[in-house]
Amino acid sequence: MNNETAAPVSVIGLGLMGRALAGAFLKAGHPTTVWNRTASKADHLISHGAQLAPTAADALKAGSLTIICLTDYEAMHELLGANDVTLEGTTLVNLTSGASAQAREAARLAEQRGARYLDGAIMAVPSGIGTAEAVILLSGAESDFDAHKPTLDALGTVTHLGADHGLASLYDVAGLAMMWSVLNAWLQGTAMLRTAGVDAATYAPFAQQIATGVATWLPGYAEQIDNGSFPAEVSALETDARAMAHLIEESETVGVNAELPRLIKAMADRAIAAGHGGEQYPVLIEEFVKPRVD
Protein backbone atom coordinates (compact mmCIF):
# COMPACT_ATOMS: atom_id res chain seq x y z
CA MET A 1 0.00 0.00 0.00
CA ASN A 2 1.32 3.51 -0.67
CA ASN A 3 0.52 6.85 0.92
CA GLU A 4 -1.77 7.93 -1.90
CA THR A 5 -4.21 5.08 -1.27
CA ALA A 6 -3.78 4.37 2.44
CA ALA A 7 -6.24 6.22 4.69
CA PRO A 8 -4.82 8.55 7.34
CA VAL A 9 -5.09 7.48 10.96
CA SER A 10 -4.33 9.00 14.35
CA VAL A 11 -3.08 7.14 17.41
CA ILE A 12 -3.54 8.63 20.88
CA GLY A 13 -1.50 6.93 23.59
CA LEU A 14 2.00 5.75 22.84
CA GLY A 15 2.71 3.32 25.61
CA LEU A 16 4.12 -0.10 24.76
CA MET A 17 0.97 -1.06 22.88
CA GLY A 18 0.18 2.32 21.32
CA ARG A 19 3.69 2.55 19.83
CA ALA A 20 3.26 -0.91 18.30
CA LEU A 21 -0.12 0.09 16.83
CA ALA A 22 1.24 3.32 15.33
CA GLY A 23 4.28 1.46 14.02
CA ALA A 24 2.07 -1.07 12.23
CA PHE A 25 0.05 1.70 10.55
CA LEU A 26 3.25 3.39 9.39
CA LYS A 27 4.62 0.11 8.09
CA ALA A 28 1.43 -0.43 6.09
CA GLY A 29 1.84 3.02 4.54
CA HIS A 30 -0.89 4.92 6.41
CA PRO A 31 -0.19 8.59 7.05
CA THR A 32 -0.08 8.41 10.85
CA THR A 33 -0.57 11.23 13.34
CA VAL A 34 0.37 10.52 16.95
CA TRP A 35 -0.06 12.13 20.33
CA ASN A 36 1.13 11.09 23.77
CA ARG A 37 1.12 12.83 27.14
CA THR A 38 4.86 12.22 27.35
CA ALA A 39 5.85 13.52 23.93
CA SER A 40 9.31 11.89 23.87
CA LYS A 41 7.69 8.45 23.37
CA ALA A 42 6.82 9.61 19.83
CA ASP A 43 10.46 10.20 18.82
CA HIS A 44 11.09 6.82 17.20
CA LEU A 45 7.76 6.94 15.34
CA ILE A 46 8.49 10.47 14.09
CA SER A 47 11.82 9.26 12.72
CA HIS A 48 9.79 6.67 10.76
CA GLY A 49 7.43 9.24 9.28
CA ALA A 50 4.74 9.86 11.93
CA GLN A 51 3.40 13.38 12.45
CA LEU A 52 3.33 14.60 16.05
CA ALA A 53 0.12 16.45 16.95
CA PRO A 54 0.62 19.24 19.51
CA THR A 55 -2.52 18.20 21.44
CA ALA A 56 -4.89 15.24 21.58
CA ALA A 57 -7.55 17.49 20.05
CA ASP A 58 -5.24 18.12 17.07
CA ALA A 59 -4.68 14.37 16.65
CA LEU A 60 -8.46 13.86 16.52
CA LYS A 61 -8.79 16.58 13.88
CA ALA A 62 -6.07 15.11 11.66
CA GLY A 63 -8.28 12.42 10.11
CA SER A 64 -11.56 10.59 10.35
CA LEU A 65 -10.19 7.60 12.31
CA THR A 66 -8.52 7.77 15.72
CA ILE A 67 -7.21 4.83 17.73
CA ILE A 68 -7.00 5.33 21.49
CA CYS A 69 -4.85 3.08 23.64
CA LEU A 70 -4.36 4.30 27.19
CA THR A 71 -3.91 2.68 30.58
CA ASP A 72 -7.62 2.66 31.42
CA TYR A 73 -10.97 4.29 30.69
CA GLU A 74 -10.44 6.89 33.42
CA ALA A 75 -7.42 8.19 31.49
CA MET A 76 -9.49 8.31 28.31
CA HIS A 77 -12.33 10.27 29.93
CA GLU A 78 -9.82 12.63 31.52
CA LEU A 79 -8.25 13.26 28.14
CA LEU A 80 -11.29 13.44 25.89
CA GLY A 81 -13.66 15.00 28.42
CA ALA A 82 -12.10 18.46 28.06
CA ASN A 83 -14.41 21.04 26.45
CA ASP A 84 -11.98 21.98 23.70
CA VAL A 85 -11.77 18.41 22.36
CA THR A 86 -14.05 17.99 19.34
CA LEU A 87 -15.20 14.49 18.60
CA GLU A 88 -17.81 15.37 15.99
CA GLY A 89 -17.38 13.53 12.70
CA THR A 90 -14.62 11.19 13.84
CA THR A 91 -14.61 7.47 14.46
CA LEU A 92 -12.96 6.50 17.72
CA VAL A 93 -11.59 3.00 18.04
CA ASN A 94 -10.85 2.48 21.71
CA LEU A 95 -8.38 -0.34 22.29
CA THR A 96 -7.94 0.45 25.99
CA SER A 97 -8.71 -2.58 28.19
CA GLY A 98 -11.77 -2.25 30.39
CA ALA A 99 -15.13 -3.62 31.47
CA SER A 100 -18.18 -4.09 29.24
CA ALA A 101 -20.13 -1.41 31.14
CA GLN A 102 -17.27 1.06 30.63
CA ALA A 103 -17.28 0.31 26.90
CA ARG A 104 -21.04 0.86 26.62
CA GLU A 105 -20.80 4.11 28.60
CA ALA A 106 -17.88 5.36 26.48
CA ALA A 107 -19.89 4.60 23.32
CA ARG A 108 -22.85 6.54 24.67
CA LEU A 109 -20.72 9.57 25.55
CA ALA A 110 -18.85 9.51 22.23
CA GLU A 111 -22.05 9.24 20.23
CA GLN A 112 -23.61 12.09 22.25
CA ARG A 113 -20.70 14.23 21.10
CA GLY A 114 -21.17 13.29 17.45
CA ALA A 115 -18.52 10.60 17.13
CA ARG A 116 -18.81 7.05 15.84
CA TYR A 117 -17.37 4.54 18.33
CA LEU A 118 -15.94 1.03 18.19
CA ASP A 119 -14.65 -0.69 21.30
CA GLY A 120 -11.89 -3.21 21.03
CA ALA A 121 -9.79 -5.77 22.86
CA ILE A 122 -6.28 -6.68 21.82
CA MET A 123 -5.49 -10.38 22.19
CA ALA A 124 -1.77 -9.96 21.55
CA VAL A 125 1.46 -8.54 22.91
CA PRO A 126 3.03 -5.47 21.29
CA SER A 127 5.62 -7.50 19.33
CA GLY A 128 2.78 -9.42 17.61
CA ILE A 129 0.98 -6.31 16.34
CA GLY A 130 1.03 -6.12 12.55
CA THR A 131 1.05 -9.91 12.14
CA ALA A 132 -1.91 -12.22 11.50
CA GLU A 133 -1.39 -13.76 14.97
CA ALA A 134 -2.51 -10.49 16.60
CA VAL A 135 -6.25 -10.89 17.09
CA ILE A 136 -8.10 -7.60 17.59
CA LEU A 137 -11.73 -7.97 18.62
CA LEU A 138 -14.08 -5.08 17.88
CA SER A 139 -17.68 -4.33 18.77
CA GLY A 140 -20.02 -1.57 17.67
CA ALA A 141 -21.95 -0.77 14.50
CA GLU A 142 -21.03 -3.09 11.65
CA SER A 143 -21.06 -0.17 9.19
CA ASP A 144 -18.34 1.58 11.25
CA PHE A 145 -16.29 -1.59 11.31
CA ASP A 146 -16.69 -2.11 7.56
CA ALA A 147 -15.77 1.51 6.82
CA HIS A 148 -12.43 1.23 8.62
CA LYS A 149 -11.55 -2.44 8.28
CA PRO A 150 -9.11 -1.82 5.41
CA THR A 151 -7.11 0.49 7.73
CA LEU A 152 -7.49 -1.64 10.87
CA ASP A 153 -6.26 -4.70 8.93
CA ALA A 154 -2.75 -3.24 9.31
CA LEU A 155 -2.88 -4.23 13.02
CA GLY A 156 -3.53 -7.96 12.62
CA THR A 157 -6.59 -10.16 12.34
CA VAL A 158 -9.48 -7.81 13.08
CA THR A 159 -12.82 -9.41 13.91
CA HIS A 160 -16.22 -7.78 14.34
CA LEU A 161 -18.25 -9.39 17.15
CA GLY A 162 -21.55 -7.50 17.00
CA ALA A 163 -23.27 -4.17 17.59
CA ASP A 164 -23.20 -4.29 21.42
CA HIS A 165 -20.15 -2.21 22.39
CA GLY A 166 -19.59 -4.39 25.47
CA LEU A 167 -18.89 -7.55 23.48
CA ALA A 168 -15.17 -7.03 22.88
CA SER A 169 -14.40 -6.72 26.58
CA LEU A 170 -16.67 -9.68 27.44
CA TYR A 171 -14.87 -11.88 24.90
CA ASP A 172 -11.61 -10.61 26.33
CA VAL A 173 -12.42 -11.77 29.88
CA ALA A 174 -14.01 -14.99 28.58
CA GLY A 175 -10.65 -15.74 26.98
CA LEU A 176 -8.88 -15.03 30.27
CA ALA A 177 -11.25 -17.42 32.10
CA MET A 178 -10.39 -20.13 29.60
CA MET A 179 -6.66 -19.47 29.80
CA TRP A 180 -6.39 -19.47 33.59
CA SER A 181 -8.69 -22.47 33.98
CA VAL A 182 -6.60 -24.58 31.61
CA LEU A 183 -3.36 -23.43 33.25
CA ASN A 184 -4.64 -24.06 36.79
CA ALA A 185 -5.82 -27.56 35.85
CA TRP A 186 -2.39 -28.27 34.40
CA LEU A 187 -0.65 -26.92 37.54
CA GLN A 188 -2.86 -29.13 39.75
CA GLY A 189 -1.76 -32.23 37.86
CA THR A 190 1.85 -31.08 37.77
CA ALA A 191 1.84 -30.60 41.56
CA MET A 192 0.44 -34.11 42.13
CA LEU A 193 2.86 -35.78 39.73
CA ARG A 194 5.86 -33.97 41.23
CA THR A 195 5.19 -35.86 44.47
CA ALA A 196 6.03 -39.02 42.49
CA GLY A 197 9.15 -37.48 40.93
CA VAL A 198 7.59 -36.67 37.55
CA ASP A 199 8.80 -33.29 36.34
CA ALA A 200 6.62 -30.67 34.63
CA ALA A 201 8.22 -31.22 31.23
CA THR A 202 7.34 -34.92 31.30
CA TYR A 203 3.70 -34.26 32.15
CA ALA A 204 3.24 -31.26 29.77
CA PRO A 205 2.75 -33.23 26.49
CA PHE A 206 0.24 -35.57 28.18
CA ALA A 207 -1.64 -32.57 29.61
CA GLN A 208 -1.59 -30.90 26.21
CA GLN A 209 -3.19 -33.97 24.65
CA ILE A 210 -5.95 -33.98 27.31
CA ALA A 211 -6.63 -30.25 26.89
CA THR A 212 -6.82 -30.62 23.10
CA GLY A 213 -9.16 -33.61 23.42
CA VAL A 214 -11.46 -31.81 25.87
CA ALA A 215 -11.57 -28.78 23.55
CA THR A 216 -13.13 -30.95 20.84
CA TRP A 217 -16.16 -31.53 23.13
CA LEU A 218 -17.07 -27.82 23.19
CA PRO A 219 -19.26 -27.55 20.05
CA GLY A 220 -21.45 -30.52 21.09
CA TYR A 221 -21.71 -29.28 24.67
CA ALA A 222 -22.51 -25.78 23.39
CA GLU A 223 -25.43 -27.27 21.47
CA GLN A 224 -26.76 -28.81 24.70
CA ILE A 225 -26.47 -25.45 26.49
CA ASP A 226 -28.17 -23.53 23.69
CA ASN A 227 -30.97 -26.12 23.54
CA GLY A 228 -31.31 -26.24 27.34
CA SER A 229 -31.25 -30.04 27.23
CA PHE A 230 -28.48 -32.13 28.78
CA PRO A 231 -28.96 -35.84 28.09
CA ALA A 232 -26.13 -37.93 29.62
CA GLU A 233 -24.67 -39.30 26.40
CA VAL A 234 -21.15 -39.85 27.76
CA SER A 235 -21.48 -39.76 31.54
CA ALA A 236 -23.83 -38.39 34.17
CA LEU A 237 -22.81 -35.55 36.50
CA GLU A 238 -23.13 -37.83 39.56
CA THR A 239 -20.55 -40.18 37.99
CA ASP A 240 -18.25 -37.17 37.38
CA ALA A 241 -18.77 -36.10 41.01
CA ARG A 242 -17.39 -39.44 42.25
CA ALA A 243 -14.24 -38.83 40.18
CA MET A 244 -14.04 -35.31 41.63
CA ALA A 245 -14.14 -36.77 45.17
CA HIS A 246 -11.28 -39.06 44.16
CA LEU A 247 -9.29 -36.05 42.84
CA ILE A 248 -9.77 -34.25 46.18
CA GLU A 249 -8.76 -37.34 48.20
CA GLU A 250 -5.68 -37.96 46.06
CA SER A 251 -4.61 -34.31 46.29
CA GLU A 252 -4.95 -34.43 50.08
CA THR A 253 -3.21 -37.81 50.38
CA VAL A 254 -0.15 -36.75 48.39
CA GLY A 255 -0.12 -33.44 50.26
CA VAL A 256 -0.85 -30.84 47.57
CA ASN A 257 -3.35 -28.00 47.47
CA ALA A 258 -6.91 -29.26 47.05
CA GLU A 259 -8.72 -25.90 46.75
CA LEU A 260 -9.33 -26.18 43.01
CA PRO A 261 -10.69 -29.77 43.13
CA ARG A 262 -12.93 -28.76 46.06
CA LEU A 263 -14.31 -25.81 44.10
CA ILE A 264 -15.00 -28.03 41.10
CA LYS A 265 -16.87 -30.55 43.27
CA ALA A 266 -18.77 -27.91 45.24
CA MET A 267 -20.36 -26.62 42.03
CA ALA A 268 -21.23 -30.12 40.86
CA ASP A 269 -22.71 -30.95 44.28
CA ARG A 270 -25.00 -27.92 44.11
CA ALA A 271 -26.19 -28.94 40.62
CA ILE A 272 -26.81 -32.49 41.86
CA ALA A 273 -28.73 -31.16 44.88
CA ALA A 274 -30.85 -29.16 42.41
CA GLY A 275 -31.77 -32.43 40.69
CA HIS A 276 -29.30 -32.48 37.78
CA GLY A 277 -27.22 -35.52 38.80
CA GLY A 278 -28.49 -37.63 35.92
CA GLU A 279 -27.65 -35.04 33.29
CA GLN A 280 -24.45 -34.32 31.43
CA TYR A 281 -21.64 -32.01 32.58
CA PRO A 282 -22.66 -28.80 30.74
CA VAL A 283 -25.79 -28.64 32.90
CA LEU A 284 -23.41 -26.88 35.31
CA ILE A 285 -24.05 -23.74 33.24
CA GLU A 286 -27.03 -23.36 35.60
CA GLU A 287 -24.51 -22.78 38.42
CA PHE A 288 -22.30 -20.48 36.36
CA VAL A 289 -25.08 -18.11 35.26
CA LYS A 290 -26.06 -17.15 38.78
CA PRO A 291 -24.11 -15.27 41.41
CA ARG A 292 -22.79 -17.50 44.21
CA VAL A 293 -25.54 -18.27 46.69
CA ASP A 294 -24.58 -19.65 50.10
Sites of contact with ligand NAP (CB under 6 A): 13-18, 36-38, 41, 69-71, 75, 78-79, 96-97, 122, 125-126
By beta-carbon proximity to ligand NAP, the closer residue of 3 and 127 is 127
Q: Which is nearer to ligand NAP, 110 or 258 (CB)?
A: 110
**CB 77 → ligand NAP: shortest distance, Å?**
9
Closest CB to ligand NAP among 43 and 78?
A: 78
Shortest-Cβ-distance residue relative to ligand NAP: 15
Of the two residues 65 and 124, which places its CB atom closer to ligand NAP in the complex?
Answer: 124
CB of 80 to ligand NAP, least distance (A): 10
The nearer residue to ligand NAP, 73 or 281, going by C-beta atoms, is 73
Amino acid at 154: A
Shortest distance in whole angstroms from residue 131 CB to ligand NAP: 14
CB of 117 to ligand NAP, least distance (A): 16
Name the minimum Å distance from CB 226 to ligand NAP: 30
- From the list 178, 58, 294, 275, the residue with the least C-alpha distance to 286 is 275
